[in-house]
Amino acid sequence: MKSKIIEREDLGNEREALDLAAPAVQTGTDDRALKSAKSGKSGKSLSRIVVELAVLLPLTIFGLECLLSAAGVGQQEILQPDPELGCVHIPGKKVTWRLEGFSRDAFSSAGLRDGEHLLNKPKGCYRIALLGDSATEGLQVDMAQTFSRQLDGALAKTFSKKGVSYFEAMNFGCSSYSTGQELLQFKKQVAQYKPDLTIVLLCYGDTLENTLDLSNRAHAEPKPYFYIDAQGKLAQDSSVLLASADKLVPNPLVDFLRSKSCLYGVWTQLNFNWNLTDKLYFRSMRFFQEVGRRMQGKARAIEAPVYAQQDKLKVTQALVTAFNDTAKENGGKFALTLFPDVLAREAGWQYDMRQLKAQGAAEHFDVIDLNPPFRSHWNPSSLFLQYHFSKEGHALVADTLTQYVKSTLADR
């Protein structure tokens, strides 16, 4: 039955096509006249399409921006290039995070995953600056559930100390940061807020990312790296940053799109996914980027410092020492928090933690070990999503830090 219907439909179309051709043959229309009529028609229709597109394109873009914004799609872009730190949060950016967990809020005007804070510390305020990577940033949970916000709330409710009228916990956490970047961030941004206590959450990955893998310099992520020089002093390797300087300079149009456009966010997300999953796409993009760079003649030789392959832990320890000194010079106290390894699977991290605790004792800074509270929790798996803290995990970190701040102030 179906085949018969198809047959009839197709025959109908065929007949229609033949009928349309018939008058031209029967009336003997002049070919040239027909051609000029056709070209006139096609010219008109082309200009009509262009005019219609000129009207429809902005409408479509506007409609899409509204829809994507309402759905929180294309709002996962959180970083913009920075010539000193490699990247920083986009100030005031509305973010809808779905990669792991969920959150939907906006960065502050200073680019913090936090509410607004005054630059000048009010009298009687005890400021706690929390630095770290994505674990501190906490995009996987609502802002109110991050340990920074919970610490703020818990201290305000439960504790009052002579000379302290209120507490302010500030979340400076930023995805992808390692200890070296956090130290630079402290000098560039955090120090201005004059924190009384600076707590850095250190993860295993940080110790690996502070130094440059010398065999992979050409493909290294553009950010500051650190090393111990021949005199045994901590030094900064900015060669990768300088080599990518052209990518890190502000571009008003791109910065605007990155900050405001969901469509741009969709594109960057697609580009990222395709680069990860499609080898052909990845190689093509690399090829075109290389061609573009050569055509612009921007390939320039950067003088890179020469040093041996580094002991990653030693570099991290040197950075922590520098952090402790800098925080003290800024009039505050420094403390290090160690990311928990609940199942004790990371032998390297277990060793590093022991060394960092010993360093804390020797250099007189506090080390807050999150392992005991996490391991003694009745359901440790509920404290994490995939890699990051769940809301329960953030609550436990906040609880541990609250106890620490209480004891610190009680000793004061």
Partner 1 sequence: MFFLAVMFALYWAFPDRHRKTLLLIGSYVFYMTWKAEYGLLILALTVINFFIGRQIDKQTAGEKRKQILILGLVFNLACLCFFKYANFLIDSLYQCLALGKHVYGFAHFSNSDFSSPALNIILPLGISFFTFEFIHYIVDVYRGSKPVKNFTDFALFASFFPSQIAGPIKRFQDFMHQLEEKPVFKNDLFGEGVFLIMQGFFKKVVLGDNMGAIVALGFNHVANLPLADAWLATAGFTFQIFFDFSGYTDIGRGSALLFGYKVPENFNLPFLAANLTDFWRRWHISLSTWLRDYLFIPMGGNRVAAWKVRRNVFLTMVLGGLWHGAAWHYVIWGAFHGSGLVLSKEWQDLVSKNKTLAALRPSPLWHFSGLALTMFFLFLAGILFRATDLPQALAMAARLLGIGTVGISGAVLESFQRSTLVLTLPLYTLFVVLRSKKAHEFFNASSLTVIKDVWQNSFALRLSACAAVAVIIAGFAPGQLSPFIYFQF
Beta carbons of 143 and 113 less than 8 angstroms apart = yes
- Give the shortest CB-363-to-partner 1 separation in angstroms: 42
Interface with partner 1 by CB under 8 A: which range of 21-29, 62-70, 149-157, 191-199? 62-70
- Give the shortest CB-338-to-partner 1 separation in angstroms: 28
Q: Is 269 in the site for partner 1 (CB under 8 A)?
A: yes
Q: Is 94 in the site for partner 1 (CB under 8 A)?
A: no
Q: Is 20 in the site for partner 1 (CB under 8 A)?
A: no
Question: Residue type for 113, please?
Answer: R
- Here's the x/- map for partner 1, 112-151, by CB under 8 A: it reads as ----------------------------------------
100 is written with which tokens? 């792991």
Three-class SS of the chain: CHHHHHHHHHHHHHHHHHHHHHHHHHHCCCHHHHHHHHHHHHHHHHHHHHHHHHHHHHHHHHHHHHHHHHHCCCCCCCEEEECCCEEEECCCCEEEECCCCCEEEECCCCCCCCCCCCCCCCCCEEEEEEECCHHHHCCCCCHHHCHHHHHHHHHHHHCCECCECEEEEEECCCCCCCHHHHHHHHHHCHHHHCCCEEEEEECHHHHHHCCCCHHHHHHCCCCCEEEECCCCCEEEECHHHHHCHHHHCCCHHHHHHHHHCHHHHHHHHHHHHHHHHCHHHHHHHHHHHHHHHHHHCCCCCCCCCCCCCCCHHHHHHHHHHHHHHHHHHCCCEEEEEECCCCCCCCHHHHHHHHHHHHHHHHHCCEEEECHHHHHCCCCHHHHECCCCECHHHHHHHHHHHHHHHHHHHHHC
Interface with partner 1 by CB under 8 A: which range of 59-67, 108-116, 241-249, 299-307? 59-67
- Give the shortest CB-56-to-partner 1 separation in angstroms: 4
Interface with partner 1 by CB under 8 A: which range of 10-18, 29-37, 240-248, 340-348? 10-18
Contact with partner 1 (CB under 8 A) among 37, 49, 254, 344: 49
Contact with partner 1 (CB under 8 A) among 262, 319, 335, 336: 262
Q: Is 350 in the site for partner 1 (CB under 8 A)?
A: no
Contact with partner 1 (CB under 8 A) among 43, 63, 92, 372: 63
Q: Is 263 in the site for partner 1 (CB under 8 A)?
A: yes
- Here's the x/- map for partner 1, 97-116, by CB under 8 A: it reads as -xx--x-x------------
Q: Is 2 in the site for partner 1 (CB under 8 A)?
A: yes
| Range 273-292, binding partner 1 (CB under 8 A) | 273
- Give the shortest CB-6-to-partner 1 separation in angstroms: 6
Interface with partner 1 by CB under 8 A: which range of 63-71, 160-168, 282-290, 398-406? 63-71
Interface with partner 1 by CB under 8 A: which range of 123-131, 143-151, 228-236, 267-275? 267-275
Biggest alpha carbon distance in the chain?
A: 107
Interface with partner 1 by CB under 8 A: which range of 31-39, 58-66, 131-139, 393-401? 58-66
- Give the shortest CB-277-to-partner 1 separation in angstroms: 9
Whole-number Å distance between alpha carbons of 230 and 217: 20
> Would you say 1 or 308 has its CB closer to partner 1?
1
Whole-number Å distance between alpha carbons of 399 and 149: 11
Which residues are at the interface with partner 1 (CB under 8 A)? 2-3, 6-7, 10, 13-14, 17, 45, 48-49, 52-53, 56-57, 59-60, 63-64, 67-68, 70-74, 98-99, 102, 104, 262-263, 266, 269-270, 273
